[in-house]
């Protein structure tokens, strides 16, 4: 195919047609044509030549030029596209490094292979431009609901025409066994918009909790206006869901507003979600109260919260146990997702048995260590004493309130407890030294002999070893694996060490060893406190 005047006249028309079809800038199509023609010319004149093509945006005329650049003598590598200052003097007046000599070359005739290559270049450039345009158009729409039309289904994934682009609804983002046919209308949540070198870059979801929240925002004007806020959503897509709402206007019931007249508002959402049952729950800042609401329709007798572990124990009557757990654990699982807490459910009988077991264990501890009879040990436990430290170091007055305990008895109890604790501490320290613990760790402030023994058993025997520990290795913590919260046991967790205490002790050890500059540490702490203060002020202002 020769680049004749007739062909040149068609270039701009073709570029404009492609640009209109793909909704991109015609200039990008022309640039792709220039690149494809330059590639074809290089195959004719030589790949090492710097051949460039310029298409006149008005006439469509293609001009082929060869460009040579002036370089330093020692940098000359490509003799076809570069030349030295001395060589350039026959073409340029007073040439300098960086100058270019441009000369027009005859147009090339494109054979079948060159024409096919040019076509591929143009198509590739057009696809890239189309993806860039699509990304720019949709990047700010992530987190919203969009209506689209089904184009086709590929391996369980639904390709959706969203007007100006294609999106994909992946198999695991469909509700249950939803199936769609071409031209079906579809409503979905734009989960993510990201740049992809090839393929789709708009990802939809109908299973995301945010999809339900956005649907309620569309159906309930009070949510759209900000009078009612959705605080949390948990879903078992296609089956059941829980949504927690709060009203900032005391005269408006958040649950009633979301349900609507005769259930019209919530029913509209249920219909869109293929009949998914929805529990609308009033949100409460008090976590135990919120959890009681979240476990509806089950009735709860008692709630015990462990904030540090992010765990909560719920006691329910025997007849309410199956209702609280739900079918296949669904109710308690959704309540856990909604509150972001691990929930242990037990019956009143199970809780009573556990409490009795703890009572007996503490009674046995006091009988064995303090040489008490069972009745006296039970008196101590009944008064709330749970360990020897509490007996040894509590104010004497707190022991005197126990029936039958006078000052002499109280002092004797404390003396026995202290003697036992000191003996235990000495034994723990001897064991730690036998394991090879160095004085640097023994003398470090804040570690008891029992803690040092536990560290030694775990291979932490020097202050350097201690300084390399992470806070969660010492205090324990929780991690999420495959959607399940998993407990990481800490070396010093049995001694009640918190993450904050562990972090402070590790940083102190690093300062003592000279690994951390205390001035920098203090500056970082001030910066953190300043940021916390600004956040608090912003929240107060809001």
Q: What is the pLDDT of residues 349-359, one digit of tens each?
A: 888 888 888 88
3, pLDDT greater than 60: no
Is the predicted pLDDT of residue 324 greater than 50, yes or no?
yes
Check whether 245 has a pLDDT greater than 90. Answer: yes
Q: Is the pLDDT of residue 495 over 50?
A: yes
The mean pLDDT value of the chain amounts to 81
Of the pLDDT bands very low, low, confident and very high (cuts 50, 70, 90), residue 537 is: very low
Residue 135 has pLDDT above 80, yes or no: no
Q: Is the pLDDT of residue 5 over 70?
A: no
* pLDDT higher than threshold 60 for residue 7: no
| pLDDT exceeds 70 at position 480 | no
Q: What is the pLDDT of residue 349?
A: 85
- What confidence score (pLDDT) does residue 309 get? 59
Name the pTM for this structure. Answer: 0.57
The whole-number average pLDDT for the span 332-360 is 85
How large is the average pLDDT for residues 316-333?
84
Q: What are the phi and psi torsion angles at 26 (to 5°)?
A: -55, -30
pLDDT, residue 6, reads: 41
What pLDDT was estimated at residue 463?
Answer: 92
From the number of C-beta atoms within 10 Å of its C-beta (0-12, 13-18, 19+), residue 391 rates as buried
Band (pLDDT 50/70/90 cuts) for residue 461 is very high
The pLDDT tens digits of the residues spanning 291-312 come to: 888 888 888 888 877 666 567 8
Q: What is the 3-state secondary structure (H, E, C) of 63-115?
A: EEEEEEEECCHHHCCCCCCEECHHHHCCCCCCCCCCCEEEEECCCCECCHHHH
DSSP state of 56: -
Contacts of 48 (CB under 8 A, 6+ apart): 78, 79, 80, 81
Of the candidates 265, 314, 269, 308, which has an alpha carbon nearest to the alpha carbon of residue 293? Answer: 314
pLDDT of amino acid 242: 92
Q: Which residues pair with 203 in a beta bridge?
A: 168, 192
Supply φ then ψ for residue 352, to 5 degrees: -65, -40
Q: Tell me the residue ranges of DSSP E strands in 162-216.
A: 166-169, 185-193, 202-205
Q: Give the model's pLDDT for residue 22.
A: 64
Bigger pLDDT: 116 vs 47? 47
* Residue 212, burial from CB neighbour count under 10 angstroms (0-12, 13-18, 19+): buried
């Amino acid at each position: 195919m020769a680049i004749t005047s007739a062909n040149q006249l068609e270039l701009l028309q073709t570029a404009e047609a492609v640009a209109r079809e793909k909704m991109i800038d015609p200039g990008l199509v022309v640039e792709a044509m220039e690149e494809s023609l330059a590639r074809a010319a290089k195959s004719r004149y030589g790949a090492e030549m710097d051949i460039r093509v310029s298409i006149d945006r008005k006439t469509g005329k293609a001009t082929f030029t060869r460009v040579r650049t002036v370089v330093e003598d020692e940098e000359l590598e490509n003799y076809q596209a570069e030349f030295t200052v001395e060589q350039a003097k026959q073409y340029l007046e007073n040439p300098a490094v960086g100058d270019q000599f441009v000369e027009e070359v005859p147009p090339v005739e494109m054979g079948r292979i060159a024409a096919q290559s040019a076509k591929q270049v143009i198509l590739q450039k057009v696809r890239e431009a189309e993806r860039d345009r699509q990304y720019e158009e949709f990047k700010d729409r992530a987190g919203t609901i969009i209506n689209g039309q089904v184009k086709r289904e590929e391996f369980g994934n639904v390709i959706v025409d969203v007007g100006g682009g294609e999106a994909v609804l992946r198999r695991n983002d469909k509700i249950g066994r939803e199936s769609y046919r071409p031209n079906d209308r579809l409503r979905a949540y734009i989960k993510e918009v990201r740049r992809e070198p090839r393929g789709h870059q708009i990802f939809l979801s109908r299973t995301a909790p945010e999809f339900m929240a956005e649907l309620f925002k569309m159906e309930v004007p009070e949510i759209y206006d900000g009078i009612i806020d959705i605080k949390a959503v948990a879903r078992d897509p296609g089956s059941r869901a829980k949504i927690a709402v709060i009203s900032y206007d005391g005269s408006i019931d958040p649950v009633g507003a979301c349900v609507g007249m005769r259930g019209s508002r919530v029913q509209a959402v249920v219909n869109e979600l293929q009949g998914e049952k929805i529990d609308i729950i009033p949100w409460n800042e008090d976590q135990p109260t919120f959890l009681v609401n979240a476990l509806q329709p089950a009735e709860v007798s008692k709630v015990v919260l462990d904030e540090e572990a992010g765990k909560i124990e719920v006691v329910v009557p025997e007849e309410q146990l199956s209702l609280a757990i739900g079918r296949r654990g669904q109710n308690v699982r959704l309540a856990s997702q909604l509150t972001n807490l691990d929930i242990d459910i037990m019956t009143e009988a199970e809780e009573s048995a556990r409490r009795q077991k703890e009572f007996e264990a503490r009674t046995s501890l006091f009988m064995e260590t303090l040489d008490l009879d069972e009745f006296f040990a039970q008196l101590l436990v009944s008064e709330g004493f749970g360990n020897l430290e509490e007996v040894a170091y509590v104010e004497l007055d707190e022991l005197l309130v126990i029936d039958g305990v006078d000052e002499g008895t109280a002092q004797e109890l404390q003396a026995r407890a202290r003697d036992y604790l000191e003996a235990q501490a000495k034994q723990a320290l001897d064991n730690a030294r036998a394991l090879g613990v160095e004085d640097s760790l023994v003398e470090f402030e804040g570690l008891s002999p029992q803690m040092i023994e536990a560290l030694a058993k775990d291979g932490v025997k020097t202050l350097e070893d201690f300084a390399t520990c992470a806070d969660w290795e010492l205090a324990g913590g929780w991690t999420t694996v495959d959607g399940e919260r998993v407990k990481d046991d800490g070396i010093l967790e049995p001694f009640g060490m918190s993450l904050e205490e562990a972090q402070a002790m590790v940083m102190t050890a690093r300062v003592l060893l000279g690994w951390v500059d205390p001035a920098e540490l203090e500056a970082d702490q001030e910066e953190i406190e300043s940021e916390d203060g600004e956040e608090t002020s912003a929240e107060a202002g809001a």
